[in-house]
Amino acid sequence: MNELLIQLVTLQAIDLEIDQIDNAIKSEQSGLDERMSALAKREALINELKEKIASQQKESRTLEAEMADKMDHVRERQSKMMQVQTGREQTALLKEIEDAKKSAKENEEKILVIIESVEKLTAQMEEEKNLLKGEKQLITEETDKVRANIEAINKSKKKKDAKRSEQAGLIKKSLLRKYDTLRQHRNGLAVINVVDGVCQGCFMAVPPQRFNMLLKGEDIFACPTCQRLNYYVPPVLEENLEEK
């Protein structure tokens, strides 16, 4: 194989290991992020419940004040009864008193419904608060663990980074730039082997003439379809293994 290609293939092997390390860090972090967002959701739910309870309590207070007014009215009308002379006036007053009592009763029923609802919401809120407390504690422990994991992963990454710089130093700058750009745009694979005349990066056939030149290993060729740099490794090793 072309010497430059061997260096690129070696570099790519290191880069793929570094990619794996970066992915491991990302997945550690994203697990924690998910927990954090679940926590934020529960906090939002608790606030929502708190607001609902406050607004229902406010409504209940309004209804209570109204009810008190209605009962005052009832008492005032009842005392007026003493002074009333005619039967017609009496009937009118009695009706007014009955209506006010009925209306006050309606308020009372509404208040009872609200009290029941507030009790339920409060119980739900308490439960959510307990869950939140547990989750917060868990997340604190989890954060420490994730931080330690990431630190350990980063340590191993440093070694790989050093190895990477060393290997990259062996490669001509212009070729290295090309390699880096290809890796960015081609899913991390800039150099790829050709098997049976097919590029293993895009699975398209490499033109036969070019494949023949690739076999000689004198020049570097880019796949005409995906532009990755192609190399060829004869499948000797596999056959040998099968024979054994």
Residues lying near Zn ion in the complex (CB under 5 A) are found at 199, 201-202, 223, 225-226
Quick one: tokens of 73? 């009215």
Q: State the Cα–Cα distance between residues 64 and 78, nearest whole angstrom.
A: 21
- In the complex, the smallest distance separating the C-beta of residue 182 from Zn ion, rounded to whole angstroms, is 11
Please identify, using beta-carbon distances, which residue of 111 and 201 lies nearer to Zn ion. 201
- In the complex, the smallest distance separating the C-beta of residue 169 from Zn ion, rounded to whole angstroms, is 28
Please identify, using beta-carbon distances, which residue of 51 and 219 lies nearer to Zn ion. 219
Q: State the Cα–Cα distance between residues 221 and 210, nearest whole angstrom.
A: 8
Torsions phi, psi for 199 (to 5 deg): -65, 130
Please identify, using beta-carbon distances, which residue of 58 and 203 lies nearer to Zn ion. 203
Where do we find the tokens 């406010």? Answer: 58
> Which of helix, strand or coil describes residue 51?
helix
Torsions phi, psi for 194 (to 5 deg): -115, 125
For residue 19, the one-letter residue type is D
Please identify, using beta-carbon distances, which residue of 31 and 207 lies nearer to Zn ion. 207
